[in-house]
Amino acid sequence: MDKWMLATLLCLHVIGTIAIYEATANTALHGLHVNNIVLVALSCIPMLCIGLVDYRILISKLSYVLYGVGIGLLVVVMFTGENINGAIRWLSIGGFQLQPSEMMKLATVMLAAYLLSKRAGESLRPLQDLLPICIVFLIPLLLILKQPDLGTALVFVGVLLSMLWIGNIRAMYMLLCMGVITISIGLICWLYYTDQELLAKIVQPHQLSRIQTFLDPTSDADKAWHVNNAMNAIGSGGLSGNMGFYLRRGFIPYAYSDSIFVVIGEHYGFLGSSILLLCYFMLIYRMVLIVKQCRDIGGAYLVLGILGILVFQIIVNIGMHIGLMPLTGISLPFISYGGSALLTNMVAMGFVLSVHLHKDEFLLDIPVRVEAAVTNTTK
């Protein structure tokens, strides 16, 4: 297996565990770092097991099944899900909480990679290829928006665009998609400054407050409280960090999960944040190398889809805490505390390791293709 990738994952888990310890020290949640160590150890088992199995077998046999199970769980969440902070995103199973939207990201990428691989790199056709793949992403996206969970839904949009681009979509269609997104963002901004009553009918109240915080952070100090404290905390960390003034006094909500980058920025400063980003860079670099070395286009699509999930979440999570993006509920991969997200990310890394392990192998139908080639040569 890719030893550099495994070493990088180990470094990320160490950083995450330390950050969780700092975020929960002297609080009622103290001890979550121990739970995180247990979760990491348990999630290594499926990662290594999947890494040893040929990913092509898993995709061809399980992609539709996992996608169907994920959609079913999202539907179940709508009716029997647990309401936490106004959002219904979790299923309570015994003493554990499962967030189906996390596993749905990987299941969707698996199915999309399988569908794209059938084109073998040829240009995507509008009805035969483009429409089915868009539907594959659209169904879970709409179900997740119902929860509501705009952050996770945006991940699906970002990954869809990246996979379509890599899957050889025609430039005209990609420009059309980007145009629709640009017009939508521009319309939201225009409505915010001209008709907030109409905008309030389109978006949820908490989403409107986040738009207001991003576009006009000085308009309402209460709504911008989270973002302003996050930026002040990261800025106060300086070069090497401090004792955590903002964190210790409760100015950073959900510091052990979505806001954990603030903990690293305040406690360990620019150096600690840089080390984290370098680990992410190393992980992304190894995944790009695996894509370049893979001889199976389906494996390349799979790794690129997983890469899209990670990169999107990293950029959005860090960006929203330094004022570059609107605040939304997206966790930081391998660092934020959360069993569902951690298990999904580790299983995804198992598929990446599997692609690396089998990157030099031909497709499973090599005997048929070799026999046909020999026959043609003989003739």
Q: What pLDDT is attached to residue 374?
A: 44
Q: What is the pLDDT of residue 370?
A: 40
CA angle 112/332/288 to nearest 5° reads 50
CA angle 182/187/193 to nearest 5° reads: 130
Tell how far CA 336 is from the center of its chain. 12
Q: What pLDDT is stored for residue 43 in this prediction?
A: 93
| Global confidence as pTM | 0.87
Q: Which pLDDT does position 361 carry in this prediction?
A: 64
Task: Tokens for 138, please give them.
Answer: 């659209």
pLDDT tens digit at each of 379 positions of the chain: 889 999 999 999 999 999 999 988 887 888 888 999 999 999 999 999 999 998 888 888 888 999 999 999 999 888 887 777 667 787 877 667 788 888 999 999 999 999 998 887 788 888 888 889 999 999 999 999 888 788 888 899 889 988 888 888 888 888 888 888 889 888 888 888 888 788 888 887 777 888 888 887 777 777 788 888 899 999 998 898 888 788 888 888 888 888 899 999 999 999 999 999 999 999 999 999 999 888 888 889 999 999 999 999 999 999 988 888 888 878 899 999 888 889 999 999 999 999 998 877 655 443 444 444 444 444 4
What pLDDT is attached to residue 49? 93
CA distances, 52 to each of 5, 58, 164, 253 (Å): 15, 11, 28, 40
Q: State the Cα–Cα distance between residues 150 and 254, nearest whole angstrom.
A: 17
Packing angle, helices 297-321 and 225-236, rounded to 10: 90
